[in-house]
Structure 1
Amino acid sequence: MKKSHLIGLTLLTFSVTLSAHAEEKRYISDELSTWVRSGPSDDYRLIGTVNAGDEVTLLQTNDNSKYGQIRDANGRTTWIPLAQLSEQPSLRTRVPELEKQVKDLTDKLTNIDGSWNQRTADMQKKVAGSDSVINGLKDENQKLKNELVVAQKKVNAANVQLDDKQRTIIMQWFMYGGGVAGVGLLLGLLLPHMIPRRKKSDRWMN
């Protein structure tokens, strides 16, 4: 059998086992580079490479050879082992995104930390201000208590003075009353002797 006939038979066999797929995104596995071929098996010649992490479009697959036909970003259509394709972006493409996410989270944490520190400082200021107000109120309360004690002492002293004055006034009234009574008694005793008695003959004459 001629070599051309063998190649034709091989192509026919592969063409029968090809499976049609809707175009799907795939990513080259995490290797430095991957060889691609002109057909769906290792028998086809190498026609170039694709870089690890590149996004490609899966056009169709060959179930027998486990190859898939892809179209790269340059529009080139080639074949590659399905094992070297992934449904998830490669680490090479995900690392920058992960680094960005880490940076964003770090920035948020920094902002949160700064905000928390500011809130803590504000609360400390408020507490310090409250302590100052409380201490001021305590001092004012103590001052009022001292003034109340002084006022109570003054009231007690005034009451004592009032009692003394009342007693003095009462004693004065007693003294005045006693003096008047004494003068009346003295006059009662003296007046009969001071007024001359009339004789009985004078009374008869009258």
Structure 2
Amino acid sequence: MQKLRLICLTLLSLSVTVVAHADEKRYVSDELNTWVRSGPGDNYRLLGTVNAGEEVTLLQSNEETKYGQVRDSNGRTSWIPLSQLSTNPSLRTRVPALEQQVKDLTDKLTNIDTTWNQRTAEMQQKVAQSDGVISGLKEENQQLKNQLIVAQKKVNAANVQLDDKQRAIIMQWFMYGGGVLGVGLLFGLLLPHMIPSRKKKDRWMN
């Protein structure tokens, strides 16, 4: 009877101190493989070890002995010190994720660098094309200036020729006018001598 009472009291104390968990995720310490036991204390039989950083499921915990009941990836149920459990993912699981993040970031940086190089090359090509267009416009402008200079020289030469023709025409008109004036003057001087006077004619008739 005393043994039965002792067992009942032990079970009652365990039922008071044991806290159940709704299958919470925990991670074994990364330092070393950890021994697991058949019960919530150091006096219970060893069942083996769990790997460092392994993910386990916390089923319940004993606040007095600071042990937690866990289920590992193989479905085995055992007890492990709570100090060996963590709520954060282990380095064993985080390192691959971090490596993947580093790879993703490296790929993004590579893509950004490639895109930037492509855009830089496109901009350089556009600038080169713009320089070519500007150079062509400058050359065309210079050609137009040269053509304008030639045209101005031709206009000046035409103006000089026009002035010479105008002077020649004016001189011809002066010559014609002078000739007409001279003929008229000569005719005016000779005309009186060519017509006999009426007085002389009347005297001769008498």
TM beyond 0.5: yes
- Residue 114 of structure 1, CA deviation: 0.9
Contact 1:29–1:52, Cα closer than 8 Å, also in 2: yes
Query: Structure 1 residues 203 and 153, CA, compared in 2 at 3 Å: closer, same or farther?
Result: farther
The SS at the match of 2:25 is strand
Contact 1:14–1:40, Cα closer than 8 Å, also in 2: no
**Which residue number in structure 2 is paired with residue 37 of structure 1?**
37
**Which residue number in structure 2 is paired with residue 199 of structure 1?**
201
Structure 2: runs of 5+ lacking an equivalent: none
The SS at the match of 2:19 is strand
- Residue 170 of structure 1, CA deviation: 1.1
The SS at the match of 2:43 is coil
- Residue 22 of structure 1, CA deviation: 2.0
Question: In terms of mean alpha carbon deviation, does 40-49 or 154-163 score higher?
Answer: 154-163
- Cα distance in 2, alignment partners of residues 113 and 175 from structure 1: 91
State the TM-score, normalized to the length of structure 2.
Answer: 0.89
Query: Structure 1 residues 7 and 110, CA, compared in 2 at 3 Å: closer, same or farther?
Result: farther
Question: In terms of mean alpha carbon deviation, does 159-168 or 190-199 score higher?
Answer: 190-199
The SS at the match of 2:88 is coil
- Cα distance in 2, alignment partners of residues 65 and 50 from structure 1: 19
Q: Is 1:161 paired with 2:161?
A: yes
**Which residue number in structure 2 is paired with residue 71 of structure 1?**
71
Question: In terms of mean alpha carbon deviation, does 137-146 or 186-195 score higher?
Answer: 186-195
Query: Structure 1 residues 203 and 108, CA, compared in 2 at 3 Å: closer, same or farther?
Result: farther
Query: Structure 1 residues 109 and 134, CA, compared in 2 at 3 Å: closer, same or farther?
Result: same
Query: Structure 1 residues 103 and 203, CA, compared in 2 at 3 Å: closer, same or farther?
Result: farther
- Cα distance in 2, alignment partners of residues 110 and 21 from structure 1: 46
State the identity %: 75
- Cα distance in 2, alignment partners of residues 182 and 16 from structure 1: 158
The alignment yields a C-alpha RMSD, in angstroms, of 2.2
